[in-house]
Amino acid sequence: MSTLFNRRYDASHEEHATSNSKQAIVYLVGAGPGDPGLLTLRGKECLERADFVLYDQLVSPQLLKYAPESAEKMCVRELADSHPDRWPHVHVKLIEEARLGKCVVRLKGGDPLIFGRGGEEAAALREAGIPYEIVPGVTAALAAGAYLEIPLTHRSLASAVAFITGHEHPGKPTSRIDWKMIAAFPGTIVIYMGFSRLNSIIPELILHGKEPGTPAISVSRASTGEQQSVTATLATLDDAIRGAGLTTPALVIIGPVVGLRPVRSWFEERPLLGKRVLITRPRQQAEEFAQRLQELGATPLLLPAIEIRDPADWATADAAMEKLRDASFDWVIFTSVNGVEKFFNRLKARGRDLRDLGATKLAVIGSATADKLRTFHLEPDVVPGESMNSERLLLDLRERIHGKSVLLVTAEQGRESLRLELAAICKLDVAVVYTQVEGVDARSEILNLLRRGEIDCVTLTSPNIARAFLAACDETIIGRLQRGEIHVLSSNSRTSAVVRERGIQKIMESAKPTNESMIGVMLKMYAI
C-alpha cells in the first residue's frame, strides 16, 4: 500500500516539476567540442524543453534536433549588429526571450565558462532577475587530450595543466597574461585561440626559458570527423602548422605529455575518418545512418531531398481505420517505415490503439519497415525476401491473400503498379497516410560544398530522392559526379538507373538497400 502511495505522490510531484519547467528560465549549456555525443544528459534535457535556442556557430548542428520542432533556433551570427562585440546583443536577446515566458537555451561551444563569456551572460541574467542554470560541457582541451590520446596530466611528466587564451598579443602593454610566468609553469600548457598569434607567443615562451625542444602539438576541429593535427617541438610548431594547412578552430598543447601520443589515436584509426558523406533521405530516417557513419569517423551531412508530411486528406486512412476496428481486413500491408509511423500515429490521434488490429495479418516491404513495425511490438507475418522489393513480397503473399480483404498503407505517391497488382488478386483498400514533398533546400550551404568538390560521397536511396537531388544540382556539381570526383552510392538498381539518366556512369551500388550494406561499400572504398 505504502509503495502505491509513494508512487502516486511521486507522480504528482513530477507533474508539478514539468509544468514548472516551462516557466521562464535560461539554461547556459555547454555543447561540447564538436562530437555531438559529448553533450551531457542534462544539456539534452534542457534542449528538449526549449522554446528558444540561441547557439554558437561552432556548435554541432546535430544537437539542435533535441529541441522541439516548434522551438525557434537562432545562431548568434544572425543577431543584428553582431560586430565588433555582439555580446551585449546576446544578453539583450536572452533577457528579451525569457521575459516572454520562454524556456531559453543558450548553447555554447565546449564549456560555457571556459573562454566562453558565459560568466558575463550569467551576470547579465542575474542583474535582470531572470532564473538561470549553468550546464557544464566538455571543453576543447579535454576533448583534444582524449581524441589524440594525450594525457594532459601524468604521474611523472605533468602534475598541473594551464588553459591559456592566446587571444591577446604578447607585446601588448595591457596584456593580462604574464608569459614569463607561463614559460616557467611546471605542467602542460594548452593555448586556446592562439592560432594566428603563435608567431609571437612561441618566441616569448622561448625567450623566457621554455625549452625549444619541448614536444608540442596543434589540433584543429578536435573530436569531429575533420580532426587534423600536427606534432612538432615548440620551436618548429608554427612552421609545421603552416605546412600542414591546419584551420581553425584549433588549439595547441605544449609539454612532455605530448610525447606519449601514439602515432594514431583510437579516434584517428576510425576507417572513414575525414570522409564527408551526404545523406539525402528524409530527415526522420537519417539519424541511425548518420550516427553509424559518425562512429566510423565520417562526417555525415544532411541534405534531405524529400520531406515527409501529413497527407492533404486523411479520408482514406480514417475510413480504413473504421473498417479495421470492425475486423474487416484479413491483411494489412505496410510499404515503408514512414507508412508504419504515420499509420499508428493517426490511429492514436483517433483515440484508438493496437487492439484494433486484432488477428489481422501483417506484411511489410523491406527489413527497415519490419524493424519499424517491431518498435510498435508487432511482428510481421510475412518477412521480406532478400531482394526486398514489392515483386518479391507479392510472390510470398500471392497465395495467402488471394480473394482476401487487404489494406495497403502507402504514400500519396505510392507505386501504382503495386496497387494494380494487388487489386487484381484481392479486395483492396488503400490508406494514404503521408505525402512526400520533393525538393532540396536551395539555400543550403551543402550545395556549395558539392560545387567545390568538398564532399566525398553522395548516398541516394530511392528513385524519387535521386531525381529530387539531381534536380538541385547545377552543371558544376553534375560534372564532378560524372567525373567521379564525388562518388555516388546508390542502394538499389532503380535508383542507379535514375542517376545514369543524367549521364553519371560511375555509381557504386550496395548489394542490399540497408544502412549496413551501404556502409560496407564505403568501408571497402575508403578504408585506410
CB of 209 to ligand SAH, least distance (A): 25
Strand 457-460 relative to strand 487-490, pairing = parallel
In one letter, which amino acid is 204?
E
CB of 298 to ligand SAH, least distance (A): 17
Query: Which has the closest alpha carbon to 379: 401, 347, 357, 400?
Result: 357
In one letter, which amino acid is 508?
M
Closer by beta carbon to ligand SAH, 248 or else 284: 248
When asked if residue 219 is in the footprint of ligand SAH (CB under 6 A), the reply is yes
Closer by beta carbon to ligand SAH, 192 or else 469: 192
Q: Which of 26, 34, 205, 214 binds ligand SAH (CB under 6 A)?
A: 34
When asked if residue 249 is in the footprint of ligand SAH (CB under 6 A), the reply is yes
Closer by beta carbon to ligand SAH, 223 or else 459: 223
When asked if residue 297 is in the footprint of ligand SAH (CB under 6 A), the reply is no
Query: Which has the closest alpha carbon to 288: 465, 516, 528?
Result: 516
Q: Which residues, at least 6 apart from 435, have a Cβ–Cβ distance to it below 8 Å?
A: 308, 309, 310, 311, 312, 411, 412, 413
Task: Print the binding letters for residues 58-87 with ligand SAH: x by CB under 6 A, - otherwise.
Answer: x-----------------------------
Q: What is the DSSP string of 183-209?
A: HT-SSEEEEES-GGGHHHHHHHHHHTT
* 473: exposed, middle or buried (Cβ count in 10 Å: 0-12, 13-18, 19+): buried
Q: How many Cα atoms sit within 13 Å of 476 on the Cβ side? A: 8
Q: Work out the number of other CB atoms within 10 angstroms of the CB of residue 89.
A: 14
In angstroms, the Cα distances linking 77 to 73, 84, 168, 196, 361 are: 12, 12, 23, 22, 54
Stretch that binds ligand SAH, among 242-250, 365-373, 382-390, 425-433 (CB under 6 A): 242-250
When asked if residue 225 is in the footprint of ligand SAH (CB under 6 A), the reply is no
Q: Which of 66, 192, 334, 343 binds ligand SAH (CB under 6 A)?
A: 192
- Phi (first) and psi of residue 513, to 5 degrees: -85, 50
CB of 246 to ligand SAH, least distance (A): 10
Task: Print the binding letters for residues 315-354 with ligand SAH: x by CB under 6 A, - otherwise.
Answer: ----------------------------------------
Q: State the Rg of the chain over Cα.
A: 28
Q: Which of 93, 210, 221, 270 binds ligand SAH (CB under 6 A)?
A: 221
Closer by beta carbon to ligand SAH, 58 or else 244: 58
Task: Print the binding letters for residues 104-143 with ligand SAH: x by CB under 6 A, - otherwise.
Answer: -----xxx--xxx----------------------xx---
Element (H, E) at 381: none
Tell me which residue has its CB nearest to ligand SAH. Answer: 110
When asked if residue 268 is in the footprint of ligand SAH (CB under 6 A), the reply is no
Query: Which has the closest alpha carbon to 268: 219, 227, 218?
Result: 227
Closer by beta carbon to ligand SAH, 273 or else 477: 273
When asked if residue 33 is in the footprint of ligand SAH (CB under 6 A), the reply is yes
> Cα(60)–Cα(48) distance, rounded to whole angstroms?
16
CB of 265 to ligand SAH, least distance (A): 14
Closer by beta carbon to ligand SAH, 179 or else 289: 179
CB of 455 to ligand SAH, least distance (A): 21
| Alpha-carbon torsion, ordered 38, 40, 44, 47, to 10 deg | -90
Torsion sign across C-alpha atoms 71, 74, 79, 84? positive
Q: Whole-angstrom distance between the N-terminal and C-terminal Cα of the chain?
A: 62
When asked if residue 251 is in the footprint of ligand SAH (CB under 6 A), the reply is yes
Residues 227, 201 contacting (CB under 8 angstroms): no
Closer by beta carbon to ligand SAH, 43 or else 109: 109
Closer by beta carbon to ligand SAH, 26 or else 450: 26
Residues 59, 111 contacting (CB under 8 angstroms): no
CB of 193 to ligand SAH, least distance (A): 4
Count interface residues toward ligand SAH (CB under 6 A).
23
Q: Which of 60, 223, 459, 496 binds ligand SAH (CB under 6 A)?
A: 223
List residues near ligand SAH by CB under 6 A. 33-34, 58, 109-111, 114-116, 139-140, 144, 192-193, 219-223, 248-251
